Every structure is written in structure tokens, then in C-alpha cells.
Copies of this chain bind each other. A is one copy, B any other.
Amino acid sequence: MDPRERIDQALEAALVRQGDAGTPPRLMAAMRHAVFPGGGRMRPRLALAVAAACGEDLPAASDAAAVAVELMHCASLVHDDLPCFDDAETRRGQPAVHRAFGEPLAVLAGDALILLAFQVLARDVAVAPDRMGRLITITADAVGLPSGIIAGQGWESEPEVDLSQYHQAKTGALFAAATMAGAAAAGHPHAAWGAVGARLGEAYQVADDLRDLAAKAEDLGKPVGRDAELGRPNAPEALGIPGAVKRLEGLLAAAAEAVPACPGEEMLKGLIKTEASRFLPKELARYAA
């Protein structure tokens, strides 16, 4: 099965099972709106790819790991789009959840998606309690304190921010969790996998900042993207465009190098290279090495 199809089916199954009889219908609709149609599903695809590379022996655990990281990602987008943060009008080409369902249901939908991730892990990995415990810690740490997504968001309320620590928490942490969760779901030691995901996540964030800039600025030298508007730290702003592109390339190479020995090591390194070529906005290709 195509990984994307597998991920969407597992997400659908999780929503249907927990959201059955008894759930307020509009809350359920808001959660669906947050999850479907998805974006690139990059984090769960990464989790599944790592699980496969580790010789996946418990597909339900890999599915649960992939679903958990994607639900956390969706939850973070819903809360990030709220009026008190980005006040986004749209997300993935449709109205943001709070625009479509109101702010109360957007807050609740984000909360409920976080909870759903743990409900899925606790139920679907119950056959392998040690793996379940590791998956829950990996997932919770990726979003919570001291250095998960929420900590990353929290840095936006501080007077001084370290660019690398901020990106690492806000984006890198969930990418690192995706790779670690894939390994843990397959019963492999997971710690060494964190570096692979963290580097991919940091690369993705740098690419995103570049894309933000390329899409919005007529003069690429002028920082007019949303992050700059909000006064947020931003790689192209800090390093200049050529510097940011160089950093992106270095991070992708480092991610491939960090792949630990596993049955599917070469397959996975190849996959990282293929995916990586899609990271750099084409308007900026002339800056590539």
C-alpha cells in the first residue's frame, strides 16, 4: 500500500473508533477538518520509512507511531493558527479550524487531537507494553517540556531566543520523534535515530523559511514573509539567502550520514536524498551548490 494511503486509513480508523457515538458532532467535524486533507504527511511517512528500515515486525505499532506524530502535528497547527498566535485565515487551502468552527472548538479540537494520539498508542501497542511506553515518552517529549513543539512556541513569548534552539523545538523535535518512534515501533533502540529526524526537521524549517520568502517577496533580499512580520527568528534573515541554502544542504547530508546501521540503511539514505530534492523552492535553485 502507498504510505500516504496507509497513513490516511490509520488516521481515519483512529478518529472513527474514538469519535463514535457520544462525541459532540461539531467537535468531531472540527477534528476531521484539522486532519483531512492532510499536508505532505512528512512526519508519519518518515516514521513508517524508519520502521520499515528497521525490519518492521508489528505493523499496528508502526501505524500507531505514525498516527501519533501526525495527530500532534495537526494539533499544533490548529492551536498555532488561533487568533492569539498567527491568526491564520487558511490552512492547506481551506479555512483554518477557528474560522470554520469558531475559536472554542478550535481550542478543543487541538486538545482532543493530542489526547487521541495517546489513546491510539495505549490501545494499539498494548500487545508490546515496553514499546508502548517508549512511544508515549517519545511522543510526549516531542510536544511538551522541556524542548518539544510547545516549548518552541513558548520561546516566541520570551525576550531573547536562540535560533537553533527555537527551530529544534518547534519543528525538529517532532521530526526527531518521527524517526525515533519508527525505530521504537519496530523494537529497535531508538535514541540514535533522533539525530536523523532532528536534522531533517531543521532542514525542513530552513526550507520553509526560504519558501515563505520566495513566495512573498519581489525582492528576495527583503524579508517580508509572515515570520519576519511577526518578528520571529528566521534563517534567511539571520544568514542571508545563500547562507540559508548552504545550511539546508549541509543539514540534509548530515541527516543521511546519521542513519544508524539497520537492515534498510541504504534504502533509507536513498529516500532521504529523493525527498530532500523537493525541499528547496525552485525559485531559489540558482543558490544551490
Contacts and interface: CB of A to CB of B under 8 A. Distances in A.
B157 A112 contact: no
Contacts of A132: 129, 132-133
A154 B26 contact: yes
A104 interface: yes
Q: SS class of chain A's interface: helix, strand, loop or mixed?
A: helix
A108 interface: yes
B150 A108 contact: yes
A33 to B, nearest CB: 14
A112 B157 CA distance: 15
A228 interface: no
Contacts of A103: 84
Contacts of A146: 18-23
Interface in A52-91: 79, 82, 84-85
A147 B281 CA distance: 44
A85 B136 CA distance: 30
Contacts of A140: 115-116, 118-119, 122
A224 interface: no
Contacts of A154: 23-24, 26-27, 105, 108, 112
B141 A119 contact: yes
A19 B145 contact: yes
A104 B122 contact: no
A212 interface: no
B26 A157 contact: yes
A22 B79 contact: no
A104 B84 contact: yes
A156 to B, nearest CB: 7
Interface centre among A112, A139, A158 (most CB of B within 10 A): A112
Nearest to A111: B150
A48 B268 CA distance: 48
Interface centre among A27, A118, A130, A151 (most CB of B within 10 A): A118
A237 to B, nearest CB: 21
Contacts of A130: 129
A122 B18 CA distance: 21
Interface centre among A21, A101, A141 (most CB of B within 10 A): A141
Interface of A: 18-28, 79, 82, 84-85, 101-105, 107-108, 110-112, 114-116, 118-119, 121-123, 126, 129-130, 132-133, 136-137, 139-141, 143-148, 150-151, 153-158, 165
20 contacts: A22-B147, A23-B145, A24-B154, A24-B155, A26-B154, A26-B158, A84-B102, A84-B104, A85-B107, A101-B157, A104-B153, A104-B156, A107-B107, A112-B144, A114-B115, A118-B136, A119-B144, A126-B133, A129-B132, A129-B133
